[in-house]
């Protein structure tokens, strides 16, 4: 790896625990964060990302959640706050709140729904970066946002000193390869199942969902690749692949919360419009976890 990973190699986009009445569960968040760092080998956690059901949590809840996680693991892992929205001013406000709460970095997703032009995207990310002292990971996920970040736009963003990383869920390896070859941006796979291909073209790691369960295995995969043990990296990729893909049989957060409950680590329900995994989905995922040795 020619680029130093600013947030380590293994990052989990953490689900947000809720109490039985649907309220935020900060104690549950702290417990889950400790598990992900101490037992699943995560170098960093993303709080209030899509898997964290950020569209359904209030600004106050986001700050409470962030502080609980920082207090739990902030001396052992970096904590990245998801602050993106389709409104630049609102994104800046959320970034300021996260910075004041003690976040180590920010995840900023491409503005969605309004489908701004590329110049608007560049100005959005640059303006947010100008307004904070924290390092920023740009989140490029066009199948959700409706707009991919063009290669030329990403090259321009790389010129900003605080835009340091990309969570890449675009699956355009040609475009990604060009940006990696011409910038110092640290590329993290935004799709668990293509972590190994991302490493092969110069990526540094993954921001995962299945890593709630596969963290230790994914860390070994990344380390094996870094040591040029490509055979071991491929073996681990193939061993974990059913879980890496199976976690998306439904919305990722649904399957993660179902899997954690199966492991005896229940983190509560989901907030609408997300709904729990079906019984069939739970049963299938349980089988995948057992086959991978991740469930007794």
CA 57, CA 165: separation in Å to the nearest integer? 25
Catalytic (active site) residue 188: no
Q: Which of 167, 170, 219, 257 is catalytic?
A: 167
Here the tokens at position 22 are 């649907």
59-56-16-107 Cα dihedral, nearest 10 degrees: -60
Q: Which of 35, 139, 187, 188 is catalytic?
A: 139
The string of pLDDT tens digits covering residues 140-162 is 999 999 999 999 999 999 999 99
Q: How many residues in total does the chain contain?
A: 296
Here the tokens at position 80 are 């990245």
Here the tokens at position 91 are 């994104």
Q: What percent of the chain has pLDDT over 70?
A: 100
Catalytic (active site) residue 139: yes
The string of pLDDT tens digits covering residues 201-256 is 999 999 999 999 999 999 999 999 999 999 999 999 999 999 999 999 998 899 99
Collapsing DSSP to helix, strand or coil, 150 comes out as coil
């Amino acid at each position: 790896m020619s680029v130093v990973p600013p947030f380590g190699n293994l990052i989990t986009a953490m689900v947000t625990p809720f109490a039985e009445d649907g309220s935020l569960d900060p104690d549950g968040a702290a417990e889950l964060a400790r598990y992900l760092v101490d037992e699943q080998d995560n170098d960093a956690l993303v709080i209030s990302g899509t898997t964290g059901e950020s569209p359904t949590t209030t600004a106050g809840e986001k700050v409470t959640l962030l502080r609980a996680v920082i207090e739990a693991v902030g001396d052992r892992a970096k904590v990245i706050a998801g602050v993106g929205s389709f409104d630049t001013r609102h994104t800046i406000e959320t970034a300021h709140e996260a910075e004041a709460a003690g976040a180590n970095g920010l995840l900023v997703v491409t503005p969605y729904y309004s489908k701004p032009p590329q110049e608007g995207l560049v100005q959005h990310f640059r303006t947010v970066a100008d307004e904070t002292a924290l390092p920023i990971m740009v989140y490029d996920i066009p199948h959700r946002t409706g707009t991919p970040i063009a290669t030329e736009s990403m090259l321009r963003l790389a010129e900003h000193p605080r835009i340091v990383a990309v969570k890449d869920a675009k699956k355009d390896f040609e475009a990604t390869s060009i940006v990696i070859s011409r910038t110092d941006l640290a590329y993290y796979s935004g799709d668990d199942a293509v972590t190994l291909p991302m490493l092969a073209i110069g990526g540094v790691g993954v921001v995962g969902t299945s890593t709630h369960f596969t963290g230790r295995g994914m860390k070994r995969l990344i380390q094996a690749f870094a040591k040029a043990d490509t055979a071991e990296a491929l073996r681990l990729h193939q061993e974990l692949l059913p879980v890496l893909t199976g976690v998306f049989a439904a919305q990722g957060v649904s399957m993660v919360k179902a899997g954690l409950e199966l492991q005896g680590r229940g983190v509560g329900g989901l907030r609408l419009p997300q709904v729990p995994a079906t019984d069939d989905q739970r049963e299938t995922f349980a089988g995948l976890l057992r086959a991978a040795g991740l469930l007794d």
